[in-house]
Amino acid sequence: MSVLDSKIPKGPLEEKWTNHKNHINLVNPANKRNIDIIVVGTGLAGGSAAATLAELGYNVKTFCYQDSPRRAHSIAAQGGINASKNYQGDGDSDYRLFYDTVKGGDYRAREANVYRLAEVSGNIIDQCVAQGVPFARDYGGQLDNRSFGGVLVSRTFYAKGQTGQQLLLGAYSAMNRQINRGKIKSYTRHEMLDVVIVDGKARGIIARDLVTGEIERHSGHAVVIASGGYGNVFYLSTNAMGSNATAAWKVHKKGAFFANPCFTQIHPTCIPVSGDHQSKLTLMSESLRNDGRIWVPKKLEDAKAIREGRLKPTQLAEEDRDYYLERRYPAFGNLVPRDVASRAAKERCDAGYGVNKTGEAVFLDFGSAFMRYGREAVSTQKIENATDEQIKKLGQKVVEAKYGNLFQMYEKIVDENPYETPMKIYPAVHYTMGGLWVDYNLQTTIPGLYAAGEANFSDHGANRLGASALMQGLADGYFVLPYTMGDYLAADIRTGAIPTDSPEFDEAEKLVRGQLEKLKNTNGTKSVDHFHKRLGKIMWDKVGMSRNATGLKEAIEEIRQLRDEFWNDVRIPGDMNGMNTELEKAGRVADFLELGELFAKDALHREESCGGHFREEYQTEEGEALRDDENFMYVAAWEYTGDPGKEVLHKENLDYEYIEVKTRSYK
C-alpha cells in the first residue's frame, strides 16, 4: 500500500488555482495543431472538454456509443446547476459553496479540488448564457435561482425541468462548430473497449463500430475518459439503459486506480418500482422538494388503508400526517441532503408506513404550495373573497409554470394526476461519487490519461449535493482540463503522430477480439439481462442503501459465483461482425460483474458510515451516519492485480486545513 500524491499546489486555498495556472507549462498555439487528443464520452464533461480543446487548436477525436453526442445521459438532468453568484443576495459566496460541498460530502472530498469548483462556478453560468442556454429569469430579467438540498441559500440556476438538456445542447453546439472547422472528428455509435499504453503513457484506444462490428485503432497524445458513472451495476437505476462503466473499468485494468467505488448516491425523489419486469427507474427532480412536502401517515392502520385503496391520501387530516423530515430536521426540513432524505424514507417504509402496494413509497405533496402561491396570486391580483378552490387553482398555475413538465412526466408514467393527488416517491440508485482516481490536474495514475465529470471521484466525497453534477462536468471540461492538459502535452510538441501499427496496439486489439470471441462462443442458455438482473438484486439487497459486514461478505461470494456462471452459460445470438446489441450488453455486464465485487470489497473495508455509504454497525442512537475520522479520513484508491477480490488498497489522506471537521448536522 502506498500514499498517493494528489499534486495539490502549495499556498492559500483561494490562490492555489490561480498560482497553478500561472506556473504550469503551456503549448504554443502553433504547436497545438500537431497534438491529437481522444475524448471518450460526449456528455457535459466530454462535450465541453472536446469543444474547448478544439477551440484552443488541438486535434480532437470524440467517441460515444449513442447515435449523436446530444443523446448523452447528461440530457436527463432536470433540476439545475449550482453557482455562487449570490444573485439572491442571501449571503452566498465561493467559500459557502465550497463549504456546503465538502460538508455535504461528509468530509470525504478533496479540499483543493472543491474550492476550485466553487471558484469557477460563476464562469460556467456566463459561458452558458453566452451560448444561449435559456436559464429561467425573474420578473426583473435577472437569472433566477432556486434551492436544493443540503444548503441554506438559493444558488441553483435552472431551465424549467430541462436544465441538463439545455446545457448539453450548448456544449453540443460548441462541438458542432469545431466539427465544422475540422478540429473535431466525431465517432458516434462507437464504443471504447480498451486503452493502449505505449512506454507507460496513454497513446490511444481500441474502439468497436457498433453498426459494422469493425474493431478500430485510434491514436492520440492523450486520452480523456468522460464516460459517466457506474450506477447501472444495480440494474435498476435512474441511468439510461445504455449507461455503463466499460471505458473506466478497462483503463482501471490497465493501471488507473479506482477510488471509493462504494460511494454511490441513492436519490430520494424517484418514481417507485412498479414490478419485476421494469428495466429502469425514473427520477423526479430534487427541485420538487422546494415546494413539495414529504409525509407518511402517522398511524399504521391509515398506511394500510391507503395501500389497500380504502383511503385516499387527500382524505387524511393534517394532524394525522407525519412530515417526518420536517419533524426530524427542522432547520433544513424537506431540503436535507439526498443521503439523509433517502435513509429517512427507507426507515419509515421499513417500519410499515409505506403508501403504495409494495409498501415502498412515501408522499410528495404540493397541497400546501398550491395554497401558498394561490394566496400570493390573490393578493397581487386584488381578488376579493376568493374561495379555497379559486386559490388552489391559481396556485396550481404557479406550480405548473415552475415544474409543469415534471408533473406531466409523472402523470404519463404513473397514470395519476399529481395536481389532484400527492406524488409517490422512493429512493433509487442515481449518481456515483466514486470513480477513477485523479490528481489535481485530473490525470489518473496512467500518464496522459485523464478523467472528467462523473467518471472521476474528485469533487463530491461520500455524497453529492443536488445540482452539483452539472457544475462539476462543465467545470472540468470548460475550465480545468484545457489548462492542466497543456502542462502534460508541452512535452509532446516534437513527438509527431502516434502510429497505430505498433506491438502495443496489436496486443490491445488482440485482447479485445479475444474477449468478444469468448463471449460469442460461450453458447450458453441464459440471456445477458438474466445475469444483469441477478447482479442488481444482490447489489441492492446487500450493497444498497444500508450495508453490514455479513451481507457484504455474502455479496462478494455471490457475485464471484455469478461471474463464473455468466462466463459459462451466457447466450449471445447474432454475429460478432455486425450490429449486435446483445454482444454490446454482454461486454458491459462482464465489467459490472467485476466492478460489483470491488464495490462490495470497498464497502466492507470502510468500517464507518459516511454520506451515501451507510454501514448498519456504525450509526448514532438517532440512526444517523457515524463517521470514523481518525481511521478513515482518506480516499481509498484500488489497484487492479488480475482479480477484483485481490485489488491492492492505496490511500490519499485528506488533510483539512480550511474547514473544521465536525458532526454533519441538519437539525
- The residue among 265, 260, 237, 230 whose CA lies nearest residue 104 is 265
Collect all residues with Cβ–Cβ distance below 8 Å to 54 and sequence separation of at least 6: 60, 175, 178, 181, 183, 184
- The residue among 394, 411, 459 whose CA lies nearest residue 284 is 411
What distances in angstroms separate CA 190 from CA 194, 422, 659, one per listed residue?
12, 43, 44
What's the CA gap between 444 and 384, in Å, rounded?
65
Whether the CB-CB separation of 517 and 239 falls below 8 Å is answered with no
Among 96, 108, 116, 338, the one annotated catalytic? 338
What's the CA gap between 552 and 550, in Å, rounded?
6
Place of cell 465489467: 591
H or E element at residue 195: strand 190-198
* Residue 634 phi, psi (nearest 5): -155, 165
By CB atoms closer than 10 A (0-12, 13-18, 19+), residue 576 is: middle
Alpha helices in 329-387 (DSSP H): 338-348, 367-381
What distances in angstroms separate CA 372 from CA 34, 189, 369, one per listed residue?
61, 49, 5
What's the CA gap between 59 and 27, in Å, rounded?
13
What's the CA gap between 334 and 322, in Å, rounded?
12
Which cell goes with 638? 484500488
Strand spans (E) along 253-391: 258-259, 264-270, 293-297, 321-322, 362-365
Number of other residues whose CB lies within 10 A of the CB of residue 176: 15
- In the Cβ-directed half-sphere of 498, how many Cα atoms lie within 13 Å? 27
What's the CA gap between 323 and 80, in Å, rounded?
25
What's the CA gap between 459 and 82, in Å, rounded?
13
- The residue among 238, 261, 438 whose CA lies nearest residue 338 is 238
For residue 502, how far is the Cα from the chain centroid?
36
What's the CA gap between 290 and 298, in Å, rounded?
23
- DSSP secondary structure letters along 576-622: SSS--HHHHHHHHHHHHHHHHHHHHHHHHH--S-BTTB-BTTSB-TT
Measure CA of the first residue to CA of the last residue in the chain; give whole Å.
39
What's the CA gap between 103 and 610, in Å, rounded?
11
What's the CA gap between 27 and 433, in Å, rounded?
32
What distances in angstroms separate CA 113 from CA 154, 257, 442, 633, one per listed residue?
22, 18, 9, 16
- The residue among 549, 583, 651 whose CA lies nearest residue 260 is 651
| Opening angle at CA 404, ends 399 and 409, nearest 5 | 135
208 in catalytic set: no
Report the side by side order of strands in the sheet with 36-40: 184-187, 59-63, 36-40, 222-225, 449-451
Number of other residues whose CB lies within 10 A of the CB of residue 15: 12
Give the residue numbers annotated as catalytic, written as ranges: 338
